[in-house]
Structure 1
Amino acid sequence: MKPIRFSGHARERMGNRGATEEEVTRAIRTAPWGPAEGGRLECRKDFSYGREWNGTFYATKQVRPIFVENPNEILVVTVYVYYF
């Protein structure tokens, strides 16, 4: 299993959007991968949320990392988060 490394941009976006390193790692390790723009990869994983984000209550949080698989590691480039 390759180690997962987070770019500075990805860490910043995770903080802004409410994703944790654990959630992103679980998404990459357990969700199916698909192609993303620019030759990158993506996956999506839903997590039970059941609380407020920015003043609105949401039951589910979806984490969508964008990453590159290198020979020795997986590099997370950015992370999108959707609440519903």
Structure 2
Amino acid sequence: MAIANAQARLNERRATEVEVIATVERGVTFPTQSSRTGFRCNFPFNAEWNGKFYTTKKVEAIAV
């Protein structure tokens, strides 16, 4: 069930599994609530999303 939920979240945010893996492997880390670790990385996007054009996409992943 957790994998299906994670895949659904990727789809709704237009992120790919490859981008999330790259974010965890080489992104900037930051602290989050509940003693978790966050990872953040920017990727080229150059596309429209929700009616607005973006040149970059910020992907954030939270690890338990």
The bucket for the TM-score relative to the shorter chain is 0.7 to 0.9
In the alignment, what sits opposite 2:48? 52
Aligned partner of 1:36 in structure 2 is: 32
Deviation at 1:8, TM superposition (A): 3.3
Question: Runs ≥4 in structure 1, deviation > 4 angstroms?
Answer: none
Give the equivalent residue in structure 1 for 2:63. Answer: 67
Give the length in aligned residue pairs: 63
The structural deviation recorded for 1:9 is: 2.7
- Give CA-to-partner distance per residue, 1:55-74, whole Å, 9 cap, x none: 21111100001112xxxxxx
TM-superposed CA distance for 1:48, in Å, is 0.9
Query: Runs of 5+ in structure 2 lacking a partner?
Result: none
The higher relative CO (CA closer than 8 Å, separation ≥ 6) is in 1
Unaligned runs of 5+ in 1: 1-5, 69-84
Map of 1:77 onto structure 2? none
